[in-house]
Amino acid sequence: MCVEKSDIQLDKLPKHIAIIMDGNGRWATQRQQQRVFGHEQGAVAVRKTVEAAAELGIEYLTLYAFSTENWSRPQEEVDALMNLLVRSIQAETPTLLKNNIRLQAIGDLGRLSPETRGNLQAAIDQTAHGKRMALVLALNYSARDEMTRAVKNIVAAVHAGNINPEQVNANLISDYLDTRHIPDPDLLIRTSGELRISNFLLWQIAYAELYFTDVLWPDFDKHILYQAIADYQKRERRFGKTGEQIKNAEKK
């Protein structure tokens, strides 16, 4: 069944959608093409998804673009991904500005090349006043790396006397994560049929709804996004409470 925008309840949208964009390589292999061709077509899917999310009224869209583990891929593929990232940022910045979308990034950005960091930061600065939606790219990101860096910074703050160990709680830890200015995802989507989280936003998705699709990322489009959101809207989010408690709260 093809889900349309009219099937979505616009008053019950997830505020933040995060996506693990998986399947570019397999998509290319199925077509007897080089893996980089799949990544290039994946960039087209990114553009379509960003446009569809902004049109719906999604406030935050986070895309898992490059993990800390991806450095272990063949150097040729890594180089191609970095070049594609630079080209895409340069090409899409005018569109982001036109559509009032601000670009943000999470991850250990220090390992990116100076050219990539420079282009990324320039786009972030240029689009900083965008109010329609935040597009968050997870680059050289993994949740374990993020939490390790957060723990190191908290320990340093404790040693410096800026934090009392008794103050360490879930809220303080969240304040030391890369996403400290970003709300936790309501909906996490993963493409390509893989049923795992792959070290992505492990702390932040504690209560996110998960949606898995067999569609490979280059084939992802607005209708699949609508389908994921429609499925999300059928679920009862309890956050540890009972269904009865949630229903009673909704009546008040």
Residues annotated as catalytic (active site), given as ranges = 22, 70
Return d(Cα 135, Cα 131) in angstroms, integer.
Answer: 11
CA-closest candidate to residue 189, choices 169, 214, 159, 165: 214
Place of tokens 């093409």: 33
Give the Cα separation of 55 and 58 in Å (integer): 8
Can you tell me the distance from the alpha carbon of 135 to that of 209, in angstroms, rounded to the nearest whole number?
20
- Of the candidates 228, 244, 233, the one whose C-alpha atom is nearest the C-alpha of residue 3 is 228
Question: Two tokens at 22?
Answer: 């998986």
Give whole-number Cα distances, 232 to 6, 15, 17, 210, in Å. Answer: 15, 12, 11, 8
The helix, strand and coil proportions of the chain, stated in percent and rounded to the nearest 5, come to 50, 15, 35
CA distance 58 to 132: 8
Distance CA 58, CA 17 (A): 8
Residue 211: partners with Cβ closer than 8 Å, 6 or more residues away: 187, 188, 189, 190, 228, 231, 232
CA distances from 196 to 20, 189, 191 (A): 10, 11, 10
Is the backbone of residue 135 left (phi > 0), alpha (psi -120 to 50) or beta? beta
